[in-house]
């Protein structure tokens, strides 16, 4: 049971508080005030940043697959950070000289910068031109020939970005120009905020950095779409209103398969095979009037007769082979 204070004890406590001998419960240690800058460039919410991270993770996976085929080595790309900072802060973080490609999105005011680490750019040039990626260069300036080689990578980045952003909208990313000095790659004013997406590219045992910098002032329309859509339910706009089964079926219908028509068979000795010369005729075991087997992917599926269609040799399907086709 809680102890009940008498009136005298209550008066003594109040006197001590008034005299300063004992602090009241509300007079604890004051918390340190934290200054808040209302100019902070936090124009993008956490949910929108989460969606942007998922989009760029998809981009990283696509671009890594492309680098694997080009470089013939193991490549991993990770999204290390997504920050909202002032453009002036980003300018201070860029080295000089640098490897920068400015780009825009067609029919929008959105501009951005693709920044490749100089070591990454020079390594890519070395590997794409047949080297092992361990070459050294006295100057860090990117030459016009090297710019052409790196432009292939930059164009691929734009293509993979377009594929990744299709879950929001069909946006065409276009390279504008190459810049080696950040002062000439002006995409917004220094007091405006930018969205900086940093990637770590691991090629073999080496690690490199790549950055994507977007001017966020033009992101309003895209941010509105990000806030109204759920990443788990949206798909690329070109597939809007189509079920997954229909997408798979359409892709299967466009798949090419080898079709082989067997005109006839014959048996000859090995000696006769060695004695064959140009102009010799091999007598087949079947006649012209016979049906010829038509194989699709080494499976006998049809029979047909030879003919001509639009001055091209052709075969007319006469019947389908009725059999249970079991997968190998």
Q: Percent of the chain having pLDDT more than 70?
A: 82
Q: For the chain, what is the mean pLDDT?
A: 81
* 159 and 293 both lie in a single domain: no
pTM: 0.58
pLDDT tens per residue across span 33-83: 666 555 565 677 788 888 888 899 999 999 998 998 888 888 899 999 998
Q: Is 219 helix (H, G, I), strand (E, B) or coil?
A: coil
* 296 and 192 both lie in a single domain: no
β-strand partners of 199: 79, 210
* 65 and 102 both lie in a single domain: yes
Q: Dihedral sign, CA of 59, 65, 66, 71?
A: positive
Q: What's the average model confidence in pLDDT over 293-312?
A: 87
Is there a domain that residue 9 lies in?
no
* 168 and 78 both lie in a single domain: yes
pLDDT category at 234 given cuts 50, 70, 90 is very low
Final residue of a structural domain among 251, 269, 299: 251
* 272 and 123 both lie in a single domain: no
**Phi then psi for 61, rounded to 5 degrees?**
-65, -45
Which CATH number covers residue 309?
2.30.330.10
Give exposure, 99-113, as e/b (b: 16+ Cβ within 10 Å): bbbbbbbeeeebbbb
What is residue 127's predicted lDDT score, i.e. its pLDDT?
86
Distance CA(194)–CA(268), nearest Å, equals 77
Count the domains in the chain: 2
Among residues 281, 253, 277, the alpha carbon closest in space to that of 266 is found at 281
Q: Regarding predicted confidence, which is higher, 189 or 113?
A: 113
* 197 and 84 both lie in a single domain: yes
* 233 and 293 both lie in a single domain: no
* 293 and 277 both lie in a single domain: yes
Final residue of a structural domain among 234, 251, 268: 251
Which CATH number covers residue 145?
3.40.1550.10
* 137 and 202 both lie in a single domain: yes
* 191 and 295 both lie in a single domain: no
Q: Would you say residue 236 has pLDDT above 60?
A: no
* 246 and 268 both lie in a single domain: no
Final residue of a structural domain among 228, 251, 274: 251
Is there a domain that residue 90 lies in?
yes
* 169 and 268 both lie in a single domain: no
Residue 78, domain extent:
46-251
Among residues 207, 225, 210, 250, the alpha carbon closest in space to that of 59 is found at 210
């Amino acid at each position: 049971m809680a102890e009940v204070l008498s009136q005298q004890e209550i008066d003594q406590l109040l006197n001590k508080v008034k005299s300063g001998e004992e602090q009241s419960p509300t007079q604890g240690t004051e918390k340190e005030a934290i200054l808040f800058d209302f100019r902070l460039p936090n124009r993008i919410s956490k949910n929108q940043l989460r969606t942007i991270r998922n989009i760029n993770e998809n981009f990283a996976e696509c671009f890594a697959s492309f680098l694997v085929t080009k470089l013939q080595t193991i490549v991993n790309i990770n999204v290390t950070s997504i920050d909202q900072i002032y453009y002036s802060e980003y300018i201070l973080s860029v080295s000089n000289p640098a490897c920068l490609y400015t780009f825009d999105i067609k029919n929008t005011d959105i501009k951005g910068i693709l920044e490749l680490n100089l070591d990454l750019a020079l390594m890519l040039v070395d590997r794409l031109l047949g080297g092992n990626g361990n070459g050294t260069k006295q100057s860090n300036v990117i030459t016009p020939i090297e710019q052409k080689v790196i432009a292939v990578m930059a164009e691929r980045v734009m293509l993979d970005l377009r594929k990744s952003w299709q879950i929001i909208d069909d946006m065409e990313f276009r390279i504008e120009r190459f810049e080696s000095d950040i002062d000439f790659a002006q995409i917004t004013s220094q007091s405006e905020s930018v969205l900086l997406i940093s990637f770590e590219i691991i090629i073999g045992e080496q690690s490199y950095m790549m950055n994507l910098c977007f001017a966020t002032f033009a992101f309003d329309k895209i941010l509105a779409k990000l806030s109204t859509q759920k990443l788990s339910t949206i798909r690329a706009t070109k597939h809007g209103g189509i079920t997954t089964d229909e997408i798979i079926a359409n892709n299967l219908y466009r798949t090419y398969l080898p079709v082989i028509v067997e005109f006839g068979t014959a048996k000859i000795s090995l000696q006769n095979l060695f004695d064959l010369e140009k102009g010799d005729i091999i007598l087949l075991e079947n006649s012209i009037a016979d049906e010829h087997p038509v194989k699709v992917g080494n499976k006998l599926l049809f029979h047909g007769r030879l003919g001509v269609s639009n001055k091209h040799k052709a075969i007319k399907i006469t019947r389908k082979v009725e059999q249970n086709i079991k997968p190998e």
